[in-house]
Structure 1
Amino acid sequence: MKRKEKVKDKKIKEKKHMAKEKKSMLLKTGLLVVVAAIVCFLIVPLFKSLNFGLDLQGGFEILYEVSPIDGSKMTKDKLNATYKSMLKRIDTLGVSEPEITLEGNDKIRVKLAGVTNKDEARETLSTVATLTFRDSEDNLLMSSDVLEAGGARLTTDANGRPAVSLAVKDKDTFYKVTNAVKDYENNIIAIWLDYNEMTDSYASEGSMCGTSESNCISSATVSEGFASDVIIQGNFTEEEASNLVDLINSGSLPAKLTEISSKTVGASFGDATLTMTMYAGIAGILAIIILLIGIYNFAGIISAVSILLYTLFVFAAFWLIGGVLTLPGIAALILGIGMAVDANVLTYSRIKEELLKGRSLETAFKNGSKASFGTILDANLTTLLVAIIMFYLGESSVKGFATMLIINIIVTMVTMVFITRILMKMFVKTKYFDNKLNLFIGVHEENINKTDKKPTYNYLGLSKFFAAFSLVVILASVVMFAFKGMNLGIDFQAGSDITLATTEVSEKDLRSDLKELKLDEVSIDITSSETDIRVSDELKEDEINKVESYFLDKYNASVDIGVVSNVVKQDLIKNAIFSIVISLIGIILYITFRFKFSYGISSVICLVHDALMMVASVILLRVEVNSMFIAAVLAIIGYSINNTIVVFDRVRENLRKKDKENLNKEELKDVVNISIKETMARSIYTSLTTLLPVIALLVMGSREILTFNVAMIVGLIAGTYSSLLLAGWLYVFFASKKKNNNKKKKVVKEVSEKTIKGIND
């Protein structure tokens, strides 16, 4: 009787315990749902609060080459002075979030999103900064000719406060003017930068001199004539005084601005692009979430919440740094989501391996998280290396792509590694899933502790087939290139790109239009949504206005025009090659440091293979090659090395379990085949989660990133099989060759030690 009661009590306790576990699980699931709902609620308004670039809201972009009129050498200080002068000028255009960046040693790029009057913007930006001295009635007294060029410098007044010193060149004129002003009823001299006769007046702006609200940068009372250097003093901070020095020097510097490229995007183009890309992004994220839940069940739901948090944090980080979101930036974000999921896939794969060995869920979670962290860190650091190189060496659109990619990688480490693990641990601790492993992460109980009696498939045997396939594709592209060349975009050849927001045209009519406009046609491409015309002419400002008016009047369609000169083309090609070479060198050094040289050289050969396959694809498919193609190649270099590191990390781990010093070539192949088998599922899942958003961008996104999407898809496919098959094949080749060389050296050394002259020679 007592025994039955004990059994009964035990069952009651078990039921209570199970009920407690279930309650804990339901509460935490409810919390997860609430977090997901809050994140979804916040993402949209946060996204809308971001600053959008001109490709997403329309606007005007122009690249200037800066050179001093007096023929002197352009220095960094002179370029910075011109840059700061242009910043002040842009304020007068009323653009909320202008972008102005220095490129190289003699170029300034200006992006004005939302600007409608291009002619006013051009005139405001390119007119040489003018410094003038005026009286209180706004009469011109002197120009900057009386000052030494670039002669303003930071100093202190008699009380030790920050002030500005002006070096006077024409002392006679300066004395005559100041001596005359001292006798004025209102003996004031105001110094103006870019004085505007229509809007500027000392009467209304005298009290604002020296502030950002006025073009009057200083005013002073003159009590006597003088010819010495001028000290401008006031309640300046050191930063304000330093800025004033830059402004004055830029005003007195006769810098010449030569327009070498320009681009206009109509508001309708920008709105349509933003809408299409946004829908593509949502579709891509949903596809990833569905795939993860289908593969990992409840753990997939945790990943889905992590993805939402990840997206929110990326937007928040971009908002905090005041970044301007562009089309390449959105492409990097969507690509980054696919890459970020890799951190979860790696961890889940390790946890499943531990569970299949018979470990408890809690132990499997601890071991799996620990085992995957090093691989995740290595993979993200190599991608970060490539992103940093892109940022420093890339031009405008590539730099925007790199900025978002860097943010993605940092947020990945925070969200997809630490936060996901916190959420996972929270549910593991409930004990609810201890006997529900299939529900939690897709592990069937019948597979636990099950010995795989099947021999490991010879994956390396497929390497030669894939290598031959790649060789055929690359050779075919070489033949195509010999006959037709590459379909170079405007970024890689001087000329102008004219885009019409209509397809109600014919090539015959357009050729007639170009003849009438006296433009040399390069190509005409009529797509499903717009018409792209490329001409070899580098259109000037008046020609751009003429072309815009012509097509608007004839076809009632908005027109976007981009212009690129030979200078830009040469710089872009040089930077593209330099970026790729530096990326490859950085990667081989990192992998050699973290692994061994045989791993590093194998990885770089695979990366070169991936890049060549991408080049081959755009040649064969006749896709336009532009600056975003370079971003795609660099992104694949970072992504593909991510995959390769995962495989090599497993090879290294499996080698540690053996006497690696005595492994022959066949034994080395076995280790690599086992490693490929163990990482195969992870590599396929990761490639799918990255491919899905890119395919969504290709199908639903803007034509502006068509090249990027096509190149990325080819690169992802090539990168997957090169990381899994070609990298291992190359590693076996180099590692076994090194062992053979070491054996030969050892034999020679032993013989020389045993040979003694005069005794046994």
Structure 2
Amino acid sequence: MRTSKWAVLAYVAIILFGILAALPNVLPVAVQQQYAAFLPVNPVTLGLDLKGGSHLVLEVDAAGLRKARLNTLLDDIRGALRAERVPTSSARIAGDSIAVKIADQADRDKVLPKIQELAIPVGTLGFGTASSDIEVATADDTITVKLTEAGLSERMTAAVDQSLEIIRRRVDQVGVAEPLIQRVGSDRILVQLPGLQDPTRLRQLLGSTAQMSFHMVDTSVDPNTTTPPRGVDILPGANDGAKYAVESRVAISGERLADAKAGFNQQTNEPIVSFTFDSQGARQFAEITRDNVGLPFAIVLDGKVLTAPRINEPIPGGQGQISGNFTAQEATVLSALLRSGALPAPLTIIEERSVGPNLGSDSIRMGIYTGLAGFALVVSLMVVLYGAWGMIANVGLLLHTILTIGVLGMLGSTLTLPGIAGIILGIGMAVDANILINARIREETEGGAGAMKALDIGFNKAYATIIDSNVTTLSGTILLFMFGTGPVRGFAVTMMLGIVISMFTSVTVVRLLMREVVVRRKMKKLEIPSLFGGVPHLPKISFMKGRYVAIGMSAFLSLSSVVLFFTPGLNYGIDFSGGIQVETTSKSKLELATLRHELEGLNIGEVALQEFGQGQSVLIRVQRQPGGEQEQTVALNKIKDTVAKVVPDASFERTEVVGPTISAELARSGFLAVALAMLAILFYIWWRFEWHFAVGAIAVLLLDITKTIGFFALTGIDFNLTAIAALLTMIGYSVNDKVVVYDRMRENLRKYKSMPFSELIDMSINQVIARCIFTSMATALSLVPMAIWGGDAVKSFAWPMIFGVIVATTSSIYIGGPILLFLSRWWKDREATRSPGIETAKS
């Protein structure tokens, strides 16, 4: 129990620095700015669900990138054929390769080296061996050119990097503050823009490839024809819905644009975009306008004709303007697109979420209130259970919360609504160490130990159990961080920090404070009474006698849950099923019947409306649209337009669009995380205990999980990413409970070697039953305010967690022991039947 002065000073320094790091989060903004130089870290960054804004995930179109490379390669191959006087029609695209069919051997021998020269080095692979982006092979009279995976991978990396820079320029030019733009995985880009409620303009800005070019219009071709002659394309108008017969040959490339600005026509006051060419583009523009006076000249952006003005006179200055049915905002976006350059490949928006500032401020307020309420309930419980000694545990809890916020600030983490839920849950679970320690001290005191000895042995015996239980919880949380996305990862971060910090506050700090009290009061005996007086002696309940009834009831509930899983099934949220979700609010009461009628007339599938907030708010859910991600975006725009028509004063508090790609990936990664968490726990318990302990823990865990799944099916609560977070946390908590019981069994096995195993299990459960119940009460109490007042965002986490805590506690008491007894007896019987055979073989 002795601690050096240097260690105490280090502990004090850590606590003071943690308090200073957390301080900016409670200071007014003006005070923060005044004393910014003296504060060690900035306030914790709030996520979009707390301060409002837009979140988009864009995916580089791999198929488009492959197609673009094949088209470029085809042009280069035809150029090589032309140079060798070989017909260019012999080269064509066949699937994912290019086939060049040349009957003459001599021509093939001339062309083959030229085609091989088109290969672009990709870098080095393995032991310095060079690779290229194409493979050239010959068979009979055909030369086949294929794209290599290494080449496509490098091209994808380059495309994502280039897209990142172009997106940054585009976002900067429309003036969004504090944007977060980063690469996610190999082919995706995450864009988060605080404060931008409506991502429509952002979607237009980021989704457009901005491939601009200038073409002559062929007036001799009917634009309504379905079979245009070679060299002419029929393109739609971007604004007027008309069709244009445009020459395929690019007269001037968009790369020749030097600048583009939004402005207004001085005569008509209409929004326009004026542009300027570079020197080479200006010469080309002057020649074209000189040679084609009186003919229309089309400006094409991403395959659509923006405008096709008639050339009235030569334009030598290299300047022009684009006019049309633009709004001022559309002109600004178009000029930003042109200035930033073309994207190397199309970008598809596969996930879109936005939160209004009002909803964000409500979430912050709710998080603070439910957090304070949960903290107050846990503090009250500790005082009730341990009287004045409970106040020391509460000091540790307070420091735990402060240090968690401080470390979040130091790490630069983003705090989300599930992250607040993680902090609140962490408070409830941090109590576990103090309950274990106090229970151990009580036991040692009852055994006749003096104050300091009881304190010393109590902490030492509890420490191993605390380590084991925290490692099992941490394993599930780490997997949640690895496989989760967005806010779920925020929850995992706060949970991981809470678990690690609780090892310091609940063990080290509390131990020092309790030792200081014992020394200063010169206590001979350390008694920890509850608020209502003395603590009753350990119960002597025979759990093993009722094991058949307990296991039977558990099996029945789990089987019923499996049935519920199939009928009626889980209410899969938008994260897993994909689709669209829009929350809208009005100042007056909403007419749901009218709104439902108008939305159903859009032919976008099943529409579900959920009314809340005294009839002034509604949650609109629409199933995933047939097709890809683009169809989801089109449906969202239809929904918003319809709501705005039916409810003129409607404000969109939250929108979510999850396409088929991202929903499938989220579902796969979520369920994989649950499976891997169970495997990690199995191996850890096997390593720390014995195989039948590990198998028993997993068996009980499966029973707990099936019951929780049944709870989701029965209540109809959304089964989404937050629900996966609840499941993984419940797994960690459930095994935490089992580890405490198993640890006591292991200790008693060493102490009472001749005691029948069934009696030893009963004794062990009776010794820890108070701890199991008290820890569950603390965890449940921390979650109750969140479940009642937390709203839809955390409802799918809080209620299942409360249910899971109750299930985990009852299974630790009634189910874990009997299963362990069955496994132990089965193993002994198996060994007994094998032994005679072994002896006979030896003789």
User: 1:570 is matched with which residue: 664, 670, 686?
Assistant: 664
Deviations 1:193-212 (A, max 9, x none): xx9996899xxxxxxxxxxx
Q: CA 1:699/1:462 → structure 2, altered by over 3 Å: closer, same or farther?
A: farther
Change (3 A) 1:101 1:474: farther
TM-aligned CA deviation for residue 602 of structure 1: 0.8
465-474 or 707-716, larger mean C-alpha shift? 465-474
For residue 827 of structure 2, what is the aligned residue in structure 1? Answer: 738
In structure 2, the residue corresponding to 1:472 is in which secondary structure? helix
Residue from 540, 543, 548 that aligns with 2:640:
548
Q: Does 1:508 align with 2:593?
A: yes
Shift in Å at residue 639 of structure 1?
Answer: 1.1
Helix, strand or coil: the match of 1:659?
A: coil
Contact 1:695 1:713 in 2 (8 A): yes
Q: 2:610 is matched by which residue type in structure 1?
A: D
**SS of 2:190's equivalent?**
strand
Q: 2:194 aligns with which of 113, 118, 136?
A: 113
Counterpart selection for 2:510 from 384, 397, 420: 420
Q: Distance in 2 between matches of 1:47 and 1:320?
A: 19
Residue aligned with 1:429, SS: helix
SS across alignment from 1:399: helix
Counterpart amino acid of residue 200 in structure 2: D
Number of the residue aligned with 1:237? none
Q: Distance in 2 between matches of 1:88 and 1:384?
A: 41
Deviation of 1:386 after TM superposition, in Å, equals 1.2
Q: Which amino acid aligns with 1:495?
A: G
- Paired residue for 1:659, among 731, 735, 753? 753
Q: Distance in 2 between matches of 1:573 and 1:670?
A: 44
Give 1:395 shift. Answer: 2.4
Q: Please state how far the C-alpha of 1:265 moved relative to its aligned partner.
A: 1.3
User: Residue 715 of structure 1: CA displacement?
Assistant: 1.0
CA drift of 1:687 comes to 0.6
2:380 match? 290
Q: Quick one: structure 1 residues 672 and 63, their matched pair in 2 at CA, closer, same or farther if it must change by over 3 Å?
A: same
Pairwise CA distance, 1:510: 3.1
Name the CA distance, whole Å, in 1 between partners of 2:530 and 2:706: 42
Work out whether 1:474 is the aligned partner of 2:558. Answer: yes
Conserved 8 A contact 1:329-1:401 = yes
CA deviation map 1:707-745 (0-9, x unaligned) = 111211111111111222212211111122222222223
Contact 1:277 1:700 in 2 (8 A): no
Residues 574/533 of structure 1: CA separation in 2 closer, same or farther (3 Å cut): same
One-letter identity of the residue aligned with 2:571: N
What is the distance in 1 between the residues matched to 2:24 and 2:373? 15
Residue pairs, 1:512-531, within 5 angstroms = 512-528=597-613, 530-531=617-618
Query: C-alpha distance in 2, partners of 1:40/1:304?
Result: 21
1:52 to 35, 46, 50: 46
Distance 1:368 1:333 in 2: 27
Change (3 A) 1:43 1:383: farther
CA contact (8 A) 1:61 1:112 kept: yes
CA distance in 2, matches of 1:624, 1:465: 33
Match of 2:161 among 42, 57, 81: 81
Unaligned runs of 5+ in 1: 1-30, 144-194, 202-214, 217-250, 755-761
After superposing the two structures, state which structure 1 stretch, 395-404 or 672-681, moved more: 395-404
Deviations 1:377-402 (A, max 9, x none): 11111111111111111222322221
Match of 2:681 in 1: 587
Bigger share in helix: 1
Identify if the C-alpha distance between structure 1 residues 509 and 711 changes in structure 2 by more than 3 Å, giving closer, same or farther: same
Letter in 1 for 2:407: A
**Contact 1:346 1:372 survives alignment (8 Å):** yes
Q: Tell me if the contact between 1:433 and 1:440 (Cα under 8 Å) persists in the aligned partners.
A: no
- 1:140 and 1:443 mapped to 2: Cα distance? 89
Give matches, 1:436-447, under 5 Å: 437-438=527-528, 444=534
Contact 1:350–1:368 (8 Å) recurs in 2: yes
Kindly report which structure 2 residues correspond to 1:386-397, keeping only aligned pairs within 5 A, or say none: 386-397=476-487
Shift of 1:342: 0.7
Matches within 5 A, 1:166-205: none
How far does residue 694 in structure 1 lie from its aligned partner after superposition?
Answer: 1.1
> Structure 1 residue 699 and structure 2 residue 783: aligned?
no
Q: How many Å apart are 1:440 and its aligned residue?
A: 8.9
| Worse-matched range after superposition: 569-578 or 549-558 | 549-558
- C-alpha separation between the residues in 2 aligned to 1:730 and 1:494? 40
- Which secondary structure state, in structure 2, belongs to the residue aligned with residue 458 of structure 1? coil
Amino acid at match of 2:434: N
Instruction: Give the C-alpha shift of residue 64 in structure 1.
Output: 1.9
Q: Is the 8 A contact 1:352 1:443 kept in 2?
A: no
The letter for the 2-side match of 1:140 is: D
Q: The residue matched to 1:263 in structure 2 has which SS?
A: strand
Conserved? CA contact 1:613–1:714, under 8 Å: no
Q: Is the 8 A contact 2:473 2:732 kept in 1?
A: yes
CA contact (8 A) 1:277 1:702 kept: no
What residue is the counterpart of 1:533 in the other structure? 620
1:509, distance to aligned residue in structure 2 (A) = 2.8
Structure 1 position 95, deviation (Å): 5.1
Distance 1:635 1:490 in 2: 21
Shift of 1:478: 4.1
Tell whether 2:278 aligns with 1:140: yes
Q: Alignment partner for residue 548 of structure 2, among 464, 473, 483?
A: 464
Worse-superposed segment, 565-574 or 74-83:
74-83
Question: In the superposition, relative to structure 1, how do residues 646 and 473 fare at CA in structure 2: closer, same or farther (>3 Å)?
Answer: same
Identity %: 29
Q: Is the 8 A contact 1:39 1:309 kept in 2?
A: no
* 1:66 alignment partner AA: V
Shift of 1:92: 5.0
Say which SS state the counterpart of residue 695 (structure 1) adopts: helix
Distance 1:429 1:78, change over 3 A: farther
Rounded Cα–Cα distance in structure 1 between residues aligned with 2:613 and 2:770: 38
Deviation at 1:606, TM superposition (A): 1.6
Task: Name the residue aligned to 1:12.
Answer: none
Q: Once the 2 structures are TM-superposed, how far is the Cα of residue 652 of structure 1 from its aligned partner?
A: 0.2
Report 1:330-349 matches (<5 A).
Answer: 330-349=420-439
Map of 1:624 onto structure 2: 718
Shift of residue 697 of structure 1?
Answer: 0.3
1:713 aligns with 2:694: no
- Secondary structure of 2:520's counterpart equals coil
| CA shift for structure 1 position 44 | 5.5
How many angstroms apart in 1 are the aligned matches of 2:336 and 2:671? 49
- Check conservation: 1:46, 1:315, Cα contact below 8 A: no
In structure 2, the CA distance between the partners of 1:512 and 1:673, relative to structure 1 (3 Å rule), is same
Unaligned runs of at least 5 residues, structure 2: 1-11, 30-42, 70-151, 212-253, 260-274, 282-331, 626-630
1:480-511 Cα shifts (integer Å, max 9, x gaps): 44443321211121321122235933543332
Partner of 2:322: none
Q: Distance in 2 between matches of 1:119 and 1:93?
A: 13
Instruction: Verify the 8 A CA contact 1:602 1:727 in the aligned structure 2.
Output: yes
**How many residue pairs were aligned?**
612
Q: What's 1:601 paired with?
A: 695
CA pair 431-274 structure 1, distance change in 2 beyond 3 A: same
| Deviation at residue 371 of structure 1 after TM alignment | 0.7
| 2:821 match: secondary structure | helix
In structure 2, how many angstroms separate the alpha carbons of the residues matched to 1:363 and 1:96?
A: 60
TM-score by length of 2: 0.67
Change (3 A) 1:198 1:43: closer
RMSD (Å), alpha carbons = 3.4
User: Mapping of 1:259-338 within 5 angstroms?
Assistant: 259-338=349-428
The 8 Å contact of residues 397 and 627 in structure 1, kept in 2 or not, is answered as no
Query: Match for 1:578: what amino acid?
Result: L
TM-score normalized with structure 1 length: 0.73
Aligned equivalents of 1:367, 1:142: Cα separation in 2: 85
CA 1:318 to 1:46, structure 2 compared with 1: closer, same or farther past 3 Å? Answer: farther
Q: Which shifted more, 621-630 or 126-135?
A: 126-135
- Report Cα offsets for 1:538-589 as digits up to 9, x if no partner: 4654553443344245333322221112212211221122111111111111
State whether residues 66 and 106 of structure 1, in contact with CA within 8 Å, keep that contact through their aligned partners in structure 2.
yes
| 1:557 aligned residue | 650
In the aligned structure 2, how far is the partner of 1:316 from the partner of 1:616? 38
Indicate if the aligned counterparts of 1:375 and 1:646 stay in contact, CA closer than 8 A.
yes
Residues 3-14 of structure 1: pairs in structure 2 closer than 5 A: none
Range with greater deviation from structure 2 (429-438 or 281-290): 429-438
